[in-house]
A and B are shown apart, each in its own frame.
Chain A
Amino acid sequence: MNGHDTLFAQLSTLGASVTLLFGVVLLWRRSLGAYIEAFRWQSLVLSAVFALVGYYGHDHELYIVAVALLALKVFIIPWYLKRLYQRVGGEREAQPYVNIATSLIVAGLLVMLAYAITRPLVMVSKLPTRGGIPLAVGLIFVGLFVIVSRRKALTQIVGFLVLENGIALLAALCTYGIHLIIELGVFLDVLMGFLVMQVIVYHIRNTFESIDVEQLNQLKH
């Protein structure tokens, strides 16, 4: 490995760990505004990772992906989320299913699990970016955990978006990004999925006057 590759390896692992850091910070916050803000910063770092991989991997398509990601996840989606947040009123993630201290420990364990299960992959990989792979898988787990452990519809959406960020990070680190068409398709999918969820949140809000998904259980009776 030459010096160029070593620097690339360290910068990409650094990017991956900052992305994960925002995922962990998310678990500590309570206000929905803070969730949106953490997601925004995370996406900013993620698009920087894409640009970095594009530069060192000599793949110029990745610059386009980085710009698209920046536009979509740093500006458009957070803007919509903020509007949604203001419309449903300042609700807080006051009592998640798993309390905050436990969630943090669970997040730590999930990342260690990610290290354990990606170990064979990292061992056979020759890529300079392999150091970040466990962190990306860990971020996917943390996103999934946010979805299952939080009560409010809005925080669950942010969890989904974080999960999606994790998958994008994994794609960037493992394969230096997938084909541009597929990548753009994924972005469109995320945007559509997000818009559909937004509509559902409005419906939940109209029916129950709250965005606590716990209320949906009442529909069974």
Chain B
Amino acid sequence: MTGYLLEIGQALLALLLAPGLVGFIRWLKARLQGRRGAKPWQPYYDLRKLLGKEVVMSKNASWLFRFAPYVIFATAVAVTLLVPLVAAPLPFDAVGDLLVVVYLLLLGTFFLALAGLDPGTSFGGMGASREVTVAAIAEPTIALAIFGLAVGAGSTNLGRIVAQTLSNPGAVINPGHLLGFTALFIVMIAETGRLPVDNPSTHLELTMIHEAMILEYSGRYLALIEWAAALKLLIFFSLLSNLFLPWGVATTLTPGALGVSVVALVVKLAALAVIVALLETRIAKLRLFRVPELLGVSFVLALLSVTSSFLLR
């Protein structure tokens, strides 16, 4: 019973933290670029404003256009139930492993691309085609990068992988781990639409991906999609931090351990946010046709990670 309460608590925590994480990265980037920037909690106000606004729909939009935001949001929330955010052996581990996580994320992406195509605008179509191009290479790479860890742990269950790494801390610096981390980091950047793949701070660029698909959305639908995008960022950050550096994740369900693990999670997310903000300040956007090459690098790294974990077992 406490396990299920924990699951719900974890999902609520993720929902609550996600907009703050996005706001924190924006604020940090503004500071690094010498601007004052909006406050880190600005996205919460944005979400409240969007939820209160009326929805304006294109005449050409079908039921799919209304339906997609709910699917996108629901898949993101479902994934937060399966990813070990604060505690490692979760009751829902029996429901789904890393393959379910990867394909739930892909389902969200799929519906987002469909929703981009639905109103029939040229931007939406472009965005959808680009998103699918990126996703086609990114999704197998996520699975492969985590498989590298799964081979070491002997299970594709995310909770088991974390528990295994915690019991054998030396495994963190083996080559499979390192290559897998690099691969997943590159994919994280591509999947969450950060620089150098997509520019999250504008929707006025010809080469935008995420923003091109959601141009037609407004009101509560836009709020749901933005919230889901923030959740996706949080999910990827916590996958990176908790799978590869699992310290702090609670293995017992005592209040003390859980408190420590929540603090550890926030610290890890903040650290990754600083890294991403620094990276985004330093580099420029990549030309669109070079994006598949960058993802090719991450795919090869993930492949090598699996190979070396498999052969050096």
Contacts and interface: CB of A to CB of B under 8 A. Distances in A.
Looking at B178, B300, B303, the one whose CB has the most chain A CB atoms below 10 A away is B300
A101 B296 contact: yes
A24 B301 CA distance: 8
Interface string A59-101: 0000000000000000000000000000000000000000011
A5 to B, nearest CB: 12
B179 interface: yes
Interface stretch (B58-66, B86-94, B110-118, B305-313): B305-313
Given A111-B304, A131-B312, A13 B175 contact: yes
A119 interface: yes
Looking at A14, A25, A100, A101, the one whose CB has the most chain B CB atoms below 10 A away is A101
B170 A14 contact: no
B293 A101 contact: yes
A190 interface: no
For chain B, the bracket of interface size reads: 20 to 34
Contacts of A24: 297, 300-301, 304
Nearest to A115: B311
Interface in A153-211: none
Given A101-B292, A104-B296, A17 B311 contact: no
A54 interface: no
B182 interface: yes
A57 interface: no
Contact of A105 (B294, B300, B308, B312): B300
Contacts of A134: 308, 311
A160 B177 CA distance: 29
Contacts of B122: none
A107 B297 CA distance: 10
A28 B304 contact: no
A135 B175 contact: yes
A16 interface: yes
B234 to A, nearest CB: 27
A135 B311 CA distance: 12
B307 A18 contact: no
Given A16-B175, A28-B293, A6 B170 contact: yes
Given A17-B308, A18-B178, A105 B296 contact: yes
A21 B170 contact: no
Contacts of B307: 111-112, 115
Interface residues of A, number: 28
Nearest to A131: B312
Interface in B257-313: 292-294, 296-297, 299-301, 303-304, 307-308, 311-312
A25 B173 CA distance: 20
A105 to B, nearest CB: 7
Contact of B311 (A7, A105, A119): A119
B133 interface: no
A10 B312 contact: no
A107 B300 CA distance: 8
B174 interface: yes
B293 A21 contact: no
B307 to A, nearest CB: 6
B293 A17 contact: no
Interface in A118-135: 119, 131-132, 134-135
Contacts of B303: 108, 112
Interface in A12-39: 13-14, 16-18, 20-21, 24-25, 28
A144 interface: no
A44 interface: no
A11 interface: yes
Given A108-B304, A131-B312, A14 B296 contact: no
Interface string B152-192: 00000000000000000010011100110010000000000
Given A28-B293, A28-B297, A107-B300, A14 B311 contact: no
Nearest to B172: A10
Contacts of B170: 6-7, 10
Contacts of A104: 293, 296-297, 299-300
A131 B179 CA distance: 14
Nearest to A100: B293
A135 B173 CA distance: 15
Nearest to A106: B300
Nearest to A28: B297
A11 B173 CA distance: 7
B179 A21 contact: yes
19 contacts: A13-B312, A14-B173, A14-B175, A16-B175, A17-B178, A18-B178, A20-B304, A21-B182, A21-B301, A24-B300, A28-B297, A108-B303, A111-B307, A112-B303, A112-B304, A115-B307, A115-B311, A131-B312, A134-B311
Which 3 pairs between the two chains have the least Cβ-Cβ distance?
A17-B175, A108-B300, A104-B296
